[in-house]
């Protein structure tokens, strides 16, 4: 009887544990910055941030952040396998403009409505039924997007 009771107590506690740990992993949602598309490009950096290529390189290979390597090849050492679903991004900075790269990362559907690439900075209000912890959030923060863009632009 006692063990049954304590088992029930544990079960009742579970949802709290899960949501508490879910929130621990995520910093508070940041205010969303609007962006504008002109001629298949977003010319203005999100929220006016200046990106860091060094941080961007870490974000593209972090499977909990950009996870770009799941679909793209990039010039990063010590990676065993790259995804081949998307084109290689080696030398992308000399092929594509910064504004076009930013739009690709922010919301690729403006370029290819059928794309399977996730929109990393779509308006959270337009995301259908997000998991509770993700309400009001974008996949990457504005700063992370600018870091990734700075990194891709540096790949000449």
Q: Decide if 55 contacts 145 (C-beta within 8 A).
A: no
Pick the closer one to ligand HEC by CB: 75 or 87: 87
CA separation (Å) from 127 to 49, 107, 124, 144, 154?
24, 12, 5, 19, 31
Q: Does 67 bind ligand HEC (CB under 6 A)?
A: yes
Q: Does 32 bind ligand HEC (CB under 6 A)?
A: no
Site for ligand HEC in 73-132 (CB under 6 A): 85-87, 89, 92, 101, 104-105, 108, 112, 115-118, 120
Pick the closer one to ligand HEC by CB: 41 or 92: 92
Pick the closer one to ligand HEC by CB: 46 or 101: 101
Q: Does 66 bind ligand HEC (CB under 6 A)?
A: yes
Helix (H, G, I), strand (E, B) or coil at 134: helix
Q: Among residues 41, 42, 46, 60, which is the contact residue for ligand HEC, using CB under 6 A?
A: 60
What number of other Cβ atoms are within 10 A of residue 38's Cβ? 10
Q: Decide if 40 contacts 110 (C-beta within 8 A).
A: yes
Q: Does 153 bind ligand HEC (CB under 6 A)?
A: no
């Amino acid at each position: 009887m006692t063990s049954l009771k304590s088992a029930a107590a544990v079960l009742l506690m579970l949802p709290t544990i899960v949501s508490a740990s879910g929130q621990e992993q995520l910093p508070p949602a940041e205010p969303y910055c609007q962006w504008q598309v002109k001629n298949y490009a977003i010319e203005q950096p999100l929220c006016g941030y200046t990106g860091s290529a060094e941080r961007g390189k870490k974000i593209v290979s972090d499977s909990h952040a950009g996870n770009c390597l799941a679909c793209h090849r990039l010039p990063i050492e010590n990676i065993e396998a790259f995804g081949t679903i998307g084109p290689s991004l080696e030398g992308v900075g000399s092929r594509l403009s910064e504004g076009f790269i930013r739009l690709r990362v922010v919301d690729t559907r403006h370029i290819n409505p059928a794309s399977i690439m996730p929109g990393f900075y779509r308006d959270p209000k337009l995301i259908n039924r997000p998991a509770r912890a993700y309400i009001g959030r974008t996949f990457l923060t504005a700063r992370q997007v600018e870091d990734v863009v700075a990194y891709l632009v540096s790949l000449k």
